[in-house]
Amino acid sequence: MDTWTIQKLLSWVTKYLADKGVDSPRLSAELLLGHVLSMARIELYAKFNTVVEPGQLDRLHELVKRAGQHEPVAYLAGETEFYSLALKVTPDCMIPRPETELLVQRAVEFLRTRIGKRLVCDLCTGCGCVAVAIARNHPDARIVATDMSEAALAVAAENVAKHQLHNRIDLLCGDLFDPLVLESDTDKFDLIVCNPPYVSADELEALDKNVRDYEPRLALFAGADGLDLYRRIVEKVDQFLKPDAVLMLEIGYSQGPAVRELLDQSGAFAELKIEKDSHNNDRVAIATRASI
């Protein structure tokens, strides 16, 4: 009978997933095998010649089959990596995307230019990836993160605990700014970040099956043109920002001009910038508020 070592399984699963057209087949194979064996990805390489038990092989086989049918690997493995951090994910929250790391990078860079306590708000936090990554990379950031989904916030709470950030991240449930209570101007934010839903009605059909059929609708869709959440954020954001604070929004690749216009028309910002991601697509809108 064949013995299946970790090394042999990684090769076999990678090829199987590649043949089925699954994205990042090697990484996916590592995540699934690591999940079944309760090992970090790096451990798999240290234990290349370990023989995998029949029960574990059966479990892996089932998961690999589902991944081959385009069920998201992050949901099957129950975790993903974002900004080099391991995060729990479930079908209750969107899977963090590498593109969103640009939002975190710009947020951390901005916070480093400020002195003293930095108050940050992360709207639409989902599994908490943006809030957790900012807090882990900026020790003085104190973050309030909100989401409308109780179930997504339960996942965020696990990620906050996993990274021992409960003293610096508060999670609140509600529609956009609704859960925020400002008792005085000192409660206003230095930075508001948000990766809102931004898929338009027309884009629905073009979405990959693993997104359309598995990720929460609440995390994806934002009205006919995909701009509903931006409109609602821009309408209210001014009252939550300090005089020289910044708003950073992740945007869809085609939404740069429309989001720029919305921000411009609000009259609340002195400077607007649309940043491109590593694929040269518009990805983050950065709006600096007018000083008073």
Ligand X SMILES: C[S@@+](CC[C@H](N)C(=O)[O-])C[C@H]1O[C@@H](n2cnc3c(N)ncnc32)[C@H](O)[C@@H]1O
How far apart are alpha carbons 107 and 112 in whole angstroms?
Answer: 9
**How many Cα neighbours within 13 Å face the side chain of 115?**
0
Per CB under 6 A, the list member of 126, 226, 252, 256 interacting with ligand X is: 126
From the list 154, 10, 25, 183, the residue with the least C-alpha distance to 89 is: 154
Per CB under 6 A, the list member of 13, 87, 144, 152 interacting with ligand X is: 152
Stretch that binds ligand X, among 48-56, 88-96, 106-114, 159-167 (CB under 6 A): 88-96
The CB-of-148 to ligand X minimum distance in angstroms stands at: 4
From the list 268, 254, 193, 261, the residue with the least C-alpha distance to 226 is: 254
If binding is defined by CB under 6 A, does position 218 make contact with ligand X? Answer: yes
If binding is defined by CB under 6 A, does position 259 make contact with ligand X? Answer: no
From the list 29, 61, 56, the residue with the least C-alpha distance to 45 is: 29
The CB-of-96 to ligand X minimum distance in angstroms stands at: 4
179 touches 122 (CB < 8 A): no
Structure tokens at 134: 């900012």
Query: Residues in contact with ligand X, total (CB under 6 A)?
Result: 21
From the list 45, 54, 130, the residue with the least C-alpha distance to 85 is: 130
Which position's Cβ is nearest ligand X? 126
If binding is defined by CB under 6 A, does position 175 make contact with ligand X? Answer: yes
Stretch that binds ligand X, among 44-52, 90-98, 157-165, 205-213 (CB under 6 A): 90-98
Q: How far is CA 262 from CA 101, 222, 241, 269, 278, in A?
A: 24, 15, 17, 11, 25
Per CB under 6 A, the list member of 101, 147, 190, 277 interacting with ligand X is: 147
Query: Which residue number, 76 or 143, has a Cβ lying nearer to ligand X?
Result: 143
If binding is defined by CB under 6 A, does position 176 make contact with ligand X? Answer: yes
Angle between helices 129-137 and 101-112 (to 10 degrees): 40
Beta bridge partners of 273: 286
Query: Which residue number, 29 or 219, has a Cβ lying nearer to ligand X?
Result: 219
If binding is defined by CB under 6 A, does position 31 make contact with ligand X? Answer: no
Query: Which residue number, 68 or 91, has a Cβ lying nearer to ligand X?
Result: 91
Under the rule (CB under 6 A), what is the footprint of ligand X?
A: 93-94, 96, 100, 124-126, 129-130, 146-149, 152, 175-176, 195-197, 218-219
